[in-house]
Amino acid sequence: MKKLTIKDIAEKFNVSISTVSKALNDSYEISQNTKDKIQKYAKENNYKPNFNALSLKNRSTKTIGIIIPTMLNYFFAQVFKGIEKTANKRGYKIITCISNESYKKEVETIEMLSNGSIDGFIMSMAKETELKQDFNHLSQTIKEGTPIVMFDRVAESIDCDKVITNDFNSATDTVKFLAKSGHKNIAFVSTMSNLIIGKKRFLGYKEGLEKSGLEFKQDLVINIFEKDYKKYETVLTPFFKENNIDAVITTGESAAIASMKSALKNGTNIPKDLAVIAFSNGILARHSSPKLTTISQHGEIMGENAAEILIDRLEKKITDTITKVIKTDIVIRDSTK
């Protein structure tokens, strides 16, 4: 007969592994009714705790769990590079998991690794997690003693260390940069308007227009919800044809490349007639034609800082919660004059 595990009990009662653990340990955080049911079931089915796992939980594994939404994004690949470099330097191993933007997979990954496999997490939230606004798995993990450092896509309501860029100021500064170059009709193309970072970039764009004495025009803002970047041009070609636009800021490189292709189809010269700037300083920017001016978020530096903060916390070198802001820079290439 298969040995009953804590995961089996969790599935039986449709609760988390941590809830079962607390119920078996008679925690005040769990209702008496739930504790009674779980304890009765465990006793009737001869449940025995895994003492190897328990002892593992109580000692350092010198391993960090990394959870990122995707590896197809150059920015996340750079963050990973920075984390790995710092972890190696300080004698830590890493376990990397991809959430594929799934809330369910993110929750399952945290539960799986919270059994004593790792000492702490470095993570950027899945898109579904942010849209659901359900962060219970994060707060519960921290409450149980496993530290989390969040980067880029962070839950502002969760009290943990964070490494971010100032998306609002970055967008504001970019508009001011374009305005100083003589641009007056600056458009904004977003592929992440439903995410906090996308909203901050949009608000920063509006602030930049105001500070530059330029009128905000709703017609010059477009939100793309199409997941397939290959279809961006279908949306953007009429957008550039129907509006008098002399500069555009996009929230990502794929949208910038599609913007340039759409504008070129309409006979627009880049950068003479249209300047293009994108958030993220990835491979596409350096190999596009013309080469793309970008807002560099310094992903590798972000990863290094996230790893340093987590390891310092694990080694009890810090006690106060830290939010580290990484300064962005505009990397000028051929898509601006």
Per domain, the residue ranges of the chain are 60-164+299-326, 167-298
Q: Residue 16's pLDDT is what?
A: 86
Q: Residue 317's pLDDT is what?
A: 95
Pairing of strands 323-326, 247-250: unpaired
CB–CB of 153/167 below 8 Å? no
What does each of the 337 residues of the chain score in pLDDT, given as a tens digit? 467 888 889 899 998 887 888 888 887 778 999 999 999 999 898 887 665 555 455 568 899 999 999 988 899 999 999 999 999 999 999 999 999 999 999 999 998 998 778 999 999 999 999 999 999 999 989 988 899 999 999 999 999 999 999 999 999 999 999 999 999 999 999 999 999 999 999 999 999 999 999 999 999 999 998 777 788 999 999 999 999 999 999 999 999 999 999 999 889 999 999 999 999 988 889 999 999 999 999 999 999 999 999 999 999 999 999 999 999 999 999 999 8
Buried b (16+ CB within 10 A) or exposed e, 130-169: beeeeeebbebbeeeebbbbbbbbbbeeeebbbbbbebbb
Q: What is the CA radius of gyration of the chain?
A: 24
| Helices and strands (H and E) in the chain: how many | 14, 12
CB–CB of 190/201 below 8 Å? yes
Overall pTM surpassing 0.85 (yes/no): no
Amino acid, res. 140 = Q
Same CATH topology for 60-164+299-326 and 167-298: the answer is yes
CATH 3.40.50.2300 for domain 60-164+299-326: yes
Cis ω before 290 (30° cut-off from 0): yes
CATH fold of 167-298 = Rossmann fold (3.40.50)
Q: Residue 59's pLDDT is what?
A: 66
Strands of the 323-326 sheet, one edge to the other: 93-98, 63-68, 120-123, 148-151, 161-165, 323-326
Q: Residue 48's pLDDT is what?
A: 75
Tokens for 318, please give them. Answer: 């810090």
Q: Residue 20's pLDDT is what?
A: 87
